[in-house]
Amino acid sequence: MSNDWYLKDSRGNEVGPLSRDVAVDLLRTKPGVFVLASKDRLTWQPVRGQAVQTMVTAEAPAARLAREQQEAERALFDLDRYRELAPHALFGVPKTATVKDYRHGFLNLAKRFHPGRLPRDASSALVKAHMAVYQYLTEVIQQVEAKLAVPEPKPSAPPPAPSRLPTWQLDVLRLRQEPHQLAASFSVTRQTAFVFTAHRLMNLSTSSVFFPCIPALPLGTKLGLSFQFEEAKRVIGARGAVAFESATADQTLRGFGVRLELGTEDRGFMLRESKRLLSA
């Protein structure tokens, strides 16, 4: 069997015949370019397979350290050269290229210096050199993307439609501070019972209530609520937390929704009574 080596890249292009030393040098200095290796062009082995990697890494520690030092110096030399190039020349694209073309050129160049392609036990000098080049290339492509980005036109907001719900201030809840939470009292009447049903998400079917208050309480605010049903002469207490801060379904009124801890009997009464008040 011949001692000549052949290498193949991801597109199926072959390089060879090569001596063992030349094949090893290509695999070391161009990580990620070649994916298969063969000694007879019939049987191909993955470059990252154990057999090929053993061949690549089989060198004395001192020789390896010297080689990696040379590779680090070569990478830093490339970095100095890259700093003198305009972005289009750096990435090998026309000056008027699109962002997509610039990104493609960036990927082709940057993959050579991606630190993740180095062996895990690579010398610190080689890792730092590759990181420096990769970081510089990343900064350049980010600058190109920012320069060529076209801001999307902001759609003009339609004029708000008139709302049938009142806009309240927070004092309608008669807030007061207790040791571990805010406490609030709310009078449920024919005019206010809509807070249990008006919002498509924050309603009693999800054990929630929506207050169209301005300003709204922040998300996560804990509340102890006392609902005073005036006509039924009944008071129901419930604990909860602000779980929703948005507009109502028609996007015309801001407020906040509170998820409640309700017992089955209390929730059933609130559903029945609020429907009765709204239909009266």
Asked if the model's pLDDT at residue 2 lies above 50, the reply is: no
pLDDT digits over 79-105, tens only? 999 999 999 999 999 988 998 999 999
* For residues 238-260, average pLDDT: 73
Q: If pLDDT is split at 50, 70 and 90, which confidence band does 3 have?
A: low
Helices 61-83 + 20-29 axis angle, to 10? 50
Residue 229 to residue 236: CA distance in whole angstroms: 8
131-161 per-position pLDDT tens digit: 888 889 989 998 988 888 766 566 655 554 4
| Domain 170-279 of CATH type 2.40.10.220 | yes
In this predicted structure, the answer to whether residue 65 has a pLDDT above a threshold of 70 is: yes
pTM, entire model: 0.41
Distance from first CA to last CA of the chain, Å, rounded?
97
Q: What are the sequence ranges of the domains in the chain?
A: 1-58, 59-149, 170-279
User: Is beta strand 182-188 parallel, antiparallel or unpaired with respect to 222-229?
Assistant: parallel
Q: What mean pLDDT is predicted for residues 65-73?
A: 87
